[in-house]
Amino acid sequence: MSRKMWIGLWVLSVLMMMRGTVVTAQDNGRIDVNNYERTMQQMIFEVVNFHALGEFNLRVFQLVNASNDPLYIAPLLDVGYFTLGSNDLHFEINRVLSHLTGQPFGPNWTAYFNWAGENDIATPPGYDAFKGRLLATLIDEDFQQFLYPGVEENARINLAEIVWGGVAVDGIPSLVNARQITPQAAMLEGETLPQYCREDDCRYPAPDELVFGVSINGDNRAYPLRVLNWHEMFNDVIGFAPLYDAPGGDALCNFRAPIVFDAIARDGDAWVNIIGTSPGCPVSDGWLAVDAVEWLDSTWDDVRPQLPDTNDGDIALWSDVRVAGRVVGQPIMLAYCTLCGSGVLYNPVIDDLVVDGESLGTVALEFGSTGLLMRSNKLMYDRTTFTVWNQMTGEPVVGKLVDSGIQLERLPVVVTDWATWLDQHPDTSVLSLDTGYRRNYENGAAYADYFNRAELMFPVWQQNTEQFANKDVVYTLLLNDTPKAYPLEYLIPEQVTNDVLAGTNLVLVSRETPQRDFFEPGGASVRAYQRGDHSFAPGASPFEVVDERGVVWAVTEDALVSPDGDSLPRLPGSLAFWFGWYGFFPETQVYQPA
């Protein structure tokens, strides 16, 4: 069978799956442009035919042009996106766009798209179903989980602004409870995986490479950007509990969440004997307090009678029992938009999540990548409701949760160099290179070209380059719904920056990170804290600040701490490219040095 015949059969199968909605080529003469649904389906047909056979009929576009109906601008932009290049179909689509918009942009599809975003254009009836079907037909049927009939009615964004990001749904796979290892094990991984060496440097992580540093309740973890550049998101559970040699005995080490272990016995209602391995823990069995454990698909009331009690002396039964559990921890989710240089750490736990009128109780949402973008910003989705969320704002924008009033809680995170993070947190764990995916985890392998040039990869209509370049890095805060950007070029020389935002006295502590022969979204480790009535200046080290009385405060991950034990809590903030932040917060304040 010839390739052309095979492709023709594929096109026929696509059309058969869409029968009843797609207008066939023979129906071109009977197209009624007042019927938006059938006209838009004919557009899909022509694009499919164009890609499969190199053939198309311009009749539908000529009729749309004659209709003078601006509601067709949005679907024309969508089909035009999939015909980019020097071809007659793309030229015809742009000709119609020029006529309907009244703009002289010629064959410049991006200019029409940005004009549409700036003017918040209206879309035709059935546009949500059309867009989902277009993406499902050409790319991945799973896009219809997000874009389906009626979803546009309560969407918080204009669906016309959504563009395909070049991958299928979860084509950039998020990490879920990915393996964490000790720094020593990480160095060994680097030495034994030469395919990830950068020239002759096989260290993992390399001392000067950037990591996302997360510290919650004393558990310190590092997530190198060289890995996250390929995954753009992690879902994890952070926290640990002491593992004891006996009930009420001596602590052996800390057992980390979310590693699953087997419980084999109990000591009354207070202790469980477990078998499992955890990074930095030299033993594989010990005792955990019952209140530090959560059970997989069960409760303590169900587990208790299954476990032999050491008080009964029934030791022989221990080896016959295995009940899966893990340490209670804090679920976290890092949403990392590589294109806009923004990694925001969120708390994905929703209290009393209500979906379709039914309460699901407290739920820790797990997130993935839609494969779609808005203003070059990652659109993510939760795997419970398939609602689409904005990475930068933490808000649901399309789907079942848009009217829920939910906004994800932001958590503190820092982008810093590995050597400094390890020096400050020798007990840290670090993300393993063994992620379960085959990617080139060499330093600088992912997005290096994009990070190191000024141009953007996707259209962004809302830009402001009068004061800062698009990819200038800023530290961002959102307090009491008030956004503010702090350019690193101002923070680095100041080291300590006292400011006020939304009625909150705050201080930013900044330290420049090492420069390398390639760039990643970083440049300085920045942490923000409340400062009360104090005013701070740099101390003798980057991890000390001095108040107006000369008192030295320690800079920790949780707070600024005085010698007397007073503390000023940390505030959640994150880095971003200027264009990424401004694209969703055009009203942002911008810090200016005094």
Closest to 380 measured CA to CA, from 411, 372, 227, 355: 372
In 3D space, the residue among 453, 462, 451 whose CA is nearest the CA of residue 376 turns out to be: 462
The predicted model gives 37-44 an average pLDDT of 97
Q: What is the pLDDT confidence band of residue 14, given thresholds at 50, 70 and 90? A: very low
In the predicted structure, residue 317 carries a pLDDT above the cut 90: no
**Quick one: average pLDDT of 435-441?**
96
Average pLDDT over residues 68-85: 97
**Least confident range of 2-11, 115-124, 257-266, 431-440:** 2-11
What pLDDT does 30 receive? 79
Sequence-separated (6 or more) residues with CB below 8 Å from residue 317 = 308
| Nearest alpha-carbon partner for 332 in 411, 278, 259, 229 | 411
The mean pLDDT of 384-390, rounded to a whole number, is 99
Mean pLDDT (the chain) is 94
Beta bridge partners of 450: none
Q: What share of the chain is helix, strand, coil (3-state, %, to 5)?
A: 30, 30, 40
| Residues 499 and 492 sit within 8 Å (Cβ to Cβ) | no
- What are 263-310's pLDDT values in tens digits? 999 999 999 999 999 999 999 999 999 999 999 988 999 999 999 998
As a whole number of angstroms, the distance between CA 116 and CA 122 comes to: 9
Task: Give the per-residue pLDDT at 4.
Answer: 37
What pLDDT band is residue 321 in, cutting at 50, 70 and 90? confident
Q: Residue 501: phi, psi to the nearest 5?
A: -140, 125
Q: How far is CA 528 from CA 393, 525, 574, in A?
A: 19, 10, 10
What is the pTM for the complete model shown? 0.93
Question: How are beta strands 175-176 and 496-501 bridged, if at all?
Answer: unpaired
CA 109 to chain centre: 28
pLDDT at 319: 61
Q: Average pLDDT in the 561-566 region?
A: 97
What pLDDT score does 3 carry? 38
pLDDT at 385 over 80: yes
Q: What order do you get walking across the sheet with 261-267 strand by strand?
A: 251-256, 240-244, 285-289, 271-275, 261-267, 323-327, 293-295
Structure tokens at 222: 């590092």
| Over residues 17-42, mean pLDDT | 70
pLDDT recorded at residue 314: 59
Asked whether the predicted pLDDT for residue 24 surpasses 50, the reply is no
Q: Is the pLDDT of residue 5 over 80?
A: no
**Residue 167: phi, psi to the nearest 5?**
-135, 165
- Band of the pLDDT at 359, cuts 50, 70, 90? very high
CA distance 233 to 506: 29
State the average pLDDT over residues 432-450. 95
Is it the case that residue 46 has pLDDT exceeding 50? yes
pLDDT 10s digits, 79-134: 999 999 889 999 999 999 999 999 999 999 999 999 999 999 999 999 999 999 99
Confidence label for 22 from pLDDT (cuts 50, 70 and 90): very low
Q: Domains (ranges, CATH) in the chain?
A: 3-125 (no CATH), 175-237+333-431 (no CATH), 240-327 (no CATH), 460-590 (2.102.10)
The pair of three-digit structure tokens given for residue 264, joined into one six-digit string: 């084999």
Give the residue-averaged pLDDT of 363-367. Answer: 98
Cα 338 from Cα 210, distance rounded (Å): 14
Whose structure tokens read 């005085």? 562
Q: Which long-range contacts (CB under 8 A, 24 or more apart) does 81-84 make?
A: 81/109, 81/113, 81/163, 81/164, 82/47, 82/51, 82/134, 82/138, 83/47, 83/50, 84/109
Can you state the angle between helices 88-101 and 36-53, rounded to 10 degrees?
Answer: 150
| Statement: residue 349 has pLDDT above 80 | yes
pLDDT of residue 297: 84
Give me the percent of the chain exceeding a pLDDT of 70.
94
Contact status, residue 562 vs residue 550, Cβ threshold 8 Å:
no
Of 81, 74, 21, give the one whose Cα is nearest residue 50. Answer: 81
Q: Which pLDDT does position 23 carry in this prediction?
A: 38
Residues 6+ apart with CB under 8 A from 162: 131, 147, 372, 373, 374, 379
Q: What is the 3-state secondary structure (H, E, C) of 511-554?
A: EECCCCCCCCCCCEEEEEEECCCCCCEECCCCCEEECCCCCEEE
